[in-house]
Structure 1
């Protein structure tokens, strides 16, 4: 057994074998996989093997698409039949709202080239007469997916991996990891059977690996403890039952092909054929998390006791949907652990704080995702970056604030939400509130309806003060929800008066020390600001694409205050930390502090914002303290508002005259009360994140995670003004080599009179698909829908007429100049 390898993969389920296969396929010829038991002995063996395309995530849709195409090639390569039944997938809708969900998803799928058709109830009945369709509105049909045998596809990938030189070692358990400065030293213990259990023997080996990938499935919590990190991947019970033969189905199959996988989302269940009968799988409420603190040694390829009472409602719904199955008996049952994460998407990418340690954990749809995960993770490891933006799956989207209890309860919620309507404006309630700013209660008392950002409660909008608890849920929709009118008034307040936004969730870092200036000059694309000034800039990946957006405020010669997106605190901190550790010898001593929780932030914006601040600023000459001469646009000053010291930055994400007021978090309530009282005379309105999102699109301000990401360069985002090509910076050559593959544009849209795009829709030029939206909303200035997105450079000129698909229809959209509202920035620069 070899003890020195390029890459070591931990875990022999479908995901682990796919990663090993694709690392070898990408050119690494020294790859080993360790499995503590037998291949497929985790969740893989009892998975139902469905291959659904449906996913609201752009990255995950690409992953599923690759898997489905890849699995169809395995038999030719390996000679093993992976058991892929391409029967199609029929997603039925009992309500108009469910159809609207499918229409939004379908437009997203179209951006990835995923085929689909919509069917009417009559069309469903004509093709599949065993299905009861009288209460249906229609269905979404994917004819290219279906189901596969999980064990067979895993063994096929394992054989393909071996054929490419991968060493697969069974009954070896990874028991310790140590980074020696250049490589990982992994302690592996031989596992043996004893009394039906799998237990460690006295035999150990030590494997040295340049890279390690963990795909440990249900054992993710054990992996996390060994690595000293947190991984919110915890299994939840998942039940499905196998029914005996259905004579009506047998008769139907004499002259017809196999039924598609039938998904009755409104009944929280799926059904597929199985040897003349049916398999029923459910995503019911109250399914418990298991193994929160580790998998017992006695649990191998085992199952839990079935709880039929918990799925009685779904069972009766199946009998309604396929009446012929009512007399079919129960043939077999499964209740096994399926790993989940708080948002249902897997954790794929570099582990926080660790070099060359990669995670592939938390796969609730592991068979569907395995092929694509191996392919794109191998790209990240071998090439430095994947061809698609994998940030939405990054393990660091959850910070160190999370606990096991939080992850378990959120994973249970994610499980029961699999078939709950996925409104784009949904906010899930479990484990909330958890992270709150001091002003949370004050804002709640004023009607704030909160959103969840990296654990923080952040106002989305301000509704009626006396609204019942159900108001926010009732406000959600695939069209303009009940919150929309409130966001309109908030946006108008900033455009015409003054509004106050709680932006405390912003990520904040302090970078200082003798090497800080040289490091940041190399680490970011723009010129560094002078002392007392700020700049917008980008940190790139090694592939030249956008890794992070920063506002840099320079508070001293070698002292910088960095502000980035609130949803990405741990993600940004990890990238900074690793870059500093790797290059400190080159630049000199650098101090890095993540200070997000030390500073609260209020953003005040609008034509009257200066008037509000002038009434409370403590200065020898309050009338000029905030003037262009003393406090110009894009500058930072330490000021005093009443008794509160404030680091004020003259910038506004809304594109109006305004300031960000960074303040000691412990003084937030004092400052909130002071600002609120001062704002009364000027009609100041509290404003939430949804109105702010609309306003920033009117200014064509790109948002990280939307327009900015690891699949596009700043030049493709059309941001050359923030890239200084006269200096050397990380990723510069790679950025230039990519050229312009697509271009970010802003569009005004003549859409439905009761709906706006969400930023997930496909764009057409005539009959040609030319791009996709990455943001969407409503423009109070133009009185119509607005969006931002990427199109082929040939279709990026101002004035180009495109179409955006919404609700399965094409609507006119026109590309407009960048910053269509106030393109000269006159309002931002307004003097006083």
Structure 2
């Protein structure tokens, strides 16, 4: 039988590069009772055939931080462990064949500077000088990252494994995890078997690092881990005379990447329509899939034209191997929402080697401290909705996600596959009136409305897209008249029980000891004062509250409450699908509501921040007087069975008021003018609530709530940064997010979000500016500019909302 301990602090399932990284980093933090179980041999799933590209730049600052850490780690592993990793700082070049791709990569270059990554925009001739073998016909620009690299995937994993073993970790091959012992929301033991016997390891934690088996291992552990294996193709040429070390080359417009490897050339592809693969054979180990030259041939034809030396080089290897993909091309990391001691690190979407070092470090720190070391919302497994584990959904979505790695990453780009799964009660009504749908967390949401004669679909661009004027009109309607939009996708969580008030006063920063019908805008804080959730809480009765959350974070926010429930006597229930919600916003919102309901909507009866039950048409509803667009307005909550009637009632009556149907893009353009924060962009778990400018929502005199000490400490010691609102003085450039902020000519940060302010007449953004030891006046005394694709554009700055700073319009 395998020589395995009967008890361990953690059992890691899976011996690919990420499992080895988690073991390595836990051991560095002093964990000794570590057991890693690998069903076959280390690296035998997908790690062994990875291309080994190691890039630094990712889509957000923290993902870039993790990628940079991986690169730095791999540069030192060989010295630490004696295992050659093949790591080389060879640099990388990405070239653009279209003007839109050039704008994308140049915007990425600006973002790289904001994230501290060395980068250089280069011309076609400079590309040629750095990569002599490339045919630059059609190349319009490129970016060069000198510190990117490449390495040997298997040896990187084996080096990590050796480093873990040196610190006492037990790593066993040919031992399969077959089941678990479960007690409520915890796994107390992992069952295993090998060729000679079986047993059980008692444990405090389990980590699912099972790669393309992650979904099935997740089911065994009682968790949802949406993953689908896809075929991934590359070729390796015969040796090419005179070929020396070259930068990694990416030509995304031709779906191709190139890597020099020991005098040979590796050509890989991320084709637009991929091939899902499965089920995985039981004996799969260091295996490859059947060749499909017809599928790869279009990539190869373009590559021979782009890299003429390939025409003379023989093909040594045609490789087809599986890689696992997630529904959104971001990997899965963190504490599984369904269990309290099951962790996940899986689904690395063909970037596992460059991600594994940082991901292992972050997860180890999270496990050790019991809290995220920094914001990991991009990859937190709690972003996955329960339905996303559906096999049919995963199969359909994966046909697209592989190709999206090299697709044009246009702003507002929507997924095309696996659509129509979650529909609000108003879905067909909105489509009948020209709604152009987007998708978020599976929800179909009206993003904008096409005009008569206009094709109701996106035409993507980095410039003003085809819906720009539509959104401007919707924006104007909300500012000057009345608009209606569907908010049904926002999460609705009931918190009820005899301790509901006391529980919310502990878990949230606001004061929930309020009259029935009162609405409290609030945050749930962590012990560092960071923002775990940004919600509204409405008191429905003496013992019941409704917590309304962003659609994407409903599950995470509910899990946060569940894990902090302690001994409070409360029941926490997701009721999102039970009610449709229509937002009526604008100066004439009250008049429209008065036309369809006998209720009193005046300030005396229904002031801002209160809710009331009403009759509407021939049905019933509950209206919440709140706003995310900065205007007079109500959110109308109606049970799903009466939703169609209420929509028709409001829409028909709205004809007399010039009611405009609006979408989510309008909501974003209005909220950016008002300076309202967007959770996940402007505020995250590592952004202190006071530095985010949300101290007004925290009741510091409450005796006990999560984060209280951190709030009081920050109040005492002062702010290190401030959230600032910006507006470009030039009305033409557009802002999205991550554009660098320059203060008096010096790079000081980047925009956390951006959109166009149609009322104020320019692109706007929010971003943090360092301010340690400075007053608000000091911050505003500087001159500011935003780097838009390498051009510094002057910007106005404000610490108060540039639109209606006293919020008089919402209270009229």
Interval containing the TM-score (normalised by the shorter chain)? over 0.9
Query: What is the CA distance between 1:183 and its match in structure 2?
Result: 6.0
Aligned to 1:431, what secondary structure does the other structure show? coil
- Alpha-carbon distance in structure 1 between the residues aligned to 2:85 and 2:713: 40
**Cα gap change, 1:735 to 1:63, in 2 (>3 Å):** farther
Query: What is the CA distance between 1:307 and its match in structure 2?
Result: 0.7
Contact 2:336 2:343 in 1 (8 A): yes
Query: What is the CA distance between 1:793 and its match in structure 2?
Result: 1.9
Deviates more, 1:168-177 or 1:791-800: 791-800
- Alpha-carbon distance in structure 2 between the residues aligned to 1:333 and 1:117: 34
Among candidates 668, 675, 690, match of residue 700 of structure 1: 675
1:172 and 2:175 matched = yes
Query: What is the CA distance between 1:182 and its match in structure 2?
Result: 9.1
Among candidates 3, 8, 17, match of residue 6 of structure 2: 3
Aligned position for 1:498 = 482
Aligned position for 2:500 = 516
- Alpha-carbon distance in structure 2 between the residues aligned to 1:407 and 1:60: 24
- Alpha-carbon distance in structure 1 between the residues aligned to 2:120 and 2:744: 20
- Alpha-carbon distance in structure 2 between the residues aligned to 1:779 and 1:712: 25
Deviates more, 1:233-242 or 1:803-812: 803-812
Aligned position for 1:267 = 254
- Alpha-carbon distance in structure 2 between the residues aligned to 1:376 and 1:138: 35
- Alpha-carbon distance in structure 2 between the residues aligned to 1:290 and 1:141: 34
- Alpha-carbon distance in structure 1 between the residues aligned to 2:180 and 2:690: 40
Aligned position for 2:203 = 209
Runs of 5+ unmatched residues, structure 1: 193-200, 620-624
Aligned to 1:159, what secondary structure does the other structure show? helix
Q: Which runs of 4+ in 1 moved over 6 A?
A: none
Among candidates 588, 606, 617, match of residue 642 of structure 1: 617
Contact 1:184 1:209 in 2 (8 A): yes
Deviation per CA, 1:50-109: give whole Å up to 9, x if none: 112343244322221111111112122222221112111110100110011112222332
Among candidates 646, 655, 672, match of residue 680 of structure 1: 655
Aligned to 1:791, what secondary structure does the other structure show? strand
Query: What is the CA distance between 1:736 and its match in structure 2?
Result: 4.6
Structure 1 residues 143-292: aligned runs within 5 Å: 143-180=146-183, 184-192=187-195, 203-247=197-241, 250=242, 253=244, 258-291=245-278
1:783 and 2:761 matched = yes
1:467 and 2:466 matched = no
Contact 1:400 1:570 in 2 (8 A): no
Among candidates 672, 684, 689, match of residue 709 of structure 1: 684
Structure 1 residues 662-811: aligned runs within 5 Å: 662-727=637-702, 728-737=704-713, 740-751=719-730, 753-794=731-772, 797-811=779-793
Among candidates 569, 572, 593, match of residue 573 of structure 2: 593
Contact 1:182 1:210 in 2 (8 A): no
Aligned to 2:386, what secondary structure does the other structure show? coil
Deviates more, 1:50-59 or 1:687-696: 50-59
1:366 and 2:319 matched = no
Deviation per CA, 1:368-426: give whole Å up to 9, x if none: 10000011111211123334310121112121123111022212210022111011210
Contact 1:14 1:154 in 2 (8 A): yes
Aligned position for 2:630 = 655
Among candidates 112, 133, 148, match of residue 130 of structure 1: 133
Deviation per CA, 1:537-577: give whole Å up to 9, x if none: 11123443111112000111221011010112222222222
After superposition, the CA RMSD in angstroms is 1.7
- Alpha-carbon distance in structure 2 between the residues aligned to 1:434 and 1:506: 16
Aligned position for 1:617 = 597
- Alpha-carbon distance in structure 2 between the residues aligned to 1:98 and 1:526: 45
Contact 1:349 1:358 in 2 (8 A): yes
Contact 2:223 2:339 in 1 (8 A): no
Aligned to 1:763, what secondary structure does the other structure show? strand
- Alpha-carbon distance in structure 1 between the residues aligned to 2:521 and 2:785: 32
Query: What is the CA distance between 1:181 and its match in structure 2?
Result: 6.0
1:541 and 2:526 matched = yes
Among candidates 370, 378, 381, match of residue 384 of structure 1: 370
- Alpha-carbon distance in structure 1 between the residues aligned to 2:370 and 2:687: 14
- Alpha-carbon distance in structure 2 between the residues aligned to 1:6 and 1:53: 33
- Alpha-carbon distance in structure 2 between the residues aligned to 1:790 and 1:508: 30
- Alpha-carbon distance in structure 2 between the residues aligned to 1:109 and 1:406: 34
Contact 2:208 2:218 in 1 (8 A): no
1:334 and 2:314 matched = no
Aligned to 2:69, what secondary structure does the other structure show? helix
Deviation per CA, 1:675-702: give whole Å up to 9, x if none: 1111111111111111111111221111
**Cα gap change, 1:412 to 1:55, in 2 (>3 Å):** farther
Query: What is the CA distance between 1:116 and its match in structure 2?
Result: 0.8
Aligned position for 1:64 = 67
Deviation per CA, 1:150-178: give whole Å up to 9, x if none: 01111111111122222212221111123
- Alpha-carbon distance in structure 1 between the residues aligned to 2:205 and 2:710: 23
Deviation per CA, 1:232-270: give whole Å up to 9, x if none: 1111110111111233xx1x64xxxx1111111110010
- Alpha-carbon distance in structure 2 between the residues aligned to 1:27 and 1:815: 46
How many residues align structurally?
798
**Cα gap change, 1:673 to 1:96, in 2 (>3 Å):** same
Contact 1:13 1:40 in 2 (8 A): yes
Query: What is the CA distance between 1:613 and its match in structure 2?
Result: 0.6
Aligned position for 2:79 = 76
Aligned position for 1:345 = 330
**Cα gap change, 1:500 to 1:361, in 2 (>3 Å):** same
1:142 and 2:145 matched = yes
Contact 1:554 1:560 in 2 (8 A): yes
- Alpha-carbon distance in structure 1 between the residues aligned to 2:619 and 2:691: 42
1:418 and 2:418 matched = no
Deviation per CA, 1:772-830: give whole Å up to 9, x if none: 11111111222111111112125862353222111111111222132221111111110
Aligned to 1:576, what secondary structure does the other structure show? helix
Deviation per CA, 1:462-506: give whole Å up to 9, x if none: 1224433xx5232x2112211111111111111111100111111
1:120 and 2:102 matched = no
**Cα gap change, 1:182 to 1:785, in 2 (>3 Å):** closer
- Alpha-carbon distance in structure 2 between the residues aligned to 1:207 and 1:744: 49
- Alpha-carbon distance in structure 2 between the residues aligned to 1:175 and 1:737: 48
Query: What is the CA distance between 1:616 and its match in structure 2?
Result: 0.6
Contact 2:745 2:784 in 1 (8 A): no
- Alpha-carbon distance in structure 2 between the residues aligned to 1:430 and 1:762: 33
**Cα gap change, 1:826 to 1:757, in 2 (>3 Å):** same
Aligned position for 1:395 = 381
